[in-house]
Amino acid sequence: MTSNQTKVYWTVFTVSDWKIYVAATKRGICYVGSPNQPFDELEKWVNKKIPLALLVQSSVHLQSATSELTQYILGERRTFTVEKDLIGTDFQQAVWQASAEIPYGETRNYSEVAEQIGRPNAIRAVGTAIGANPLLFIIPCHRIVAKNGGLAGFRAGIDVKKMLLQLEIKNNT
């Protein structure tokens, strides 16, 4: 390891029959994996987004993040307070910020997000940016649906998206 090599701390935790890998840099959480996916998903993302990073297993560095994610998935938390290190283009960052502003238990469609960021014709690009969201659950891209209200794609799968939306609706009353 060189002295300026970026360390990416990672751990895996289990909640509701889901095994989830999470990772963080010294600036904050940078990745939340899809439930029950292999370590390879995290490793590929790190190699693409933070080339030459050193992966270091450390549950201590991710204790706050795993605690908040567990609370959210169990319906005991609506917002996240952990520091984030979002790695993406300016456009992706704008889409993710708009997604983060969608209130718990509510949804928006891709067109509404495109309008919100001032790019009304970029609906497909919004969908692509949402698909690249590295912080599942924390950046609530599951709250973005098709214009007809249908559950369009989701990195963790439509079943997970449906479960998260139902959880939020149930806990939002």
Secondary structure class of 109 (helix, strand, coil): strand
In angstroms, the CA 96 to CA 128 distance is 11
For the question of residue 141 being annotated catalytic, the response is yes
- Residue 111, token pair as written in the block: 């067109």
Q: CB neighbours of 140 closer than 8 A, spacing ≥ 6?
A: 99, 100, 102, 104, 164
Catalytic residue among 141, 144, 156, 160: 141
In angstroms, the CA 129 to CA 95 distance is 7
Secondary structure class of 63 (helix, strand, coil): helix
Q: Could you write out the three-class secondary structure of 7-46?
A: EEEEEEEEECCEEEEEEEECCEEEEECCCCCCHHHHHHHH
Catalytic positions, written as ranges: 141
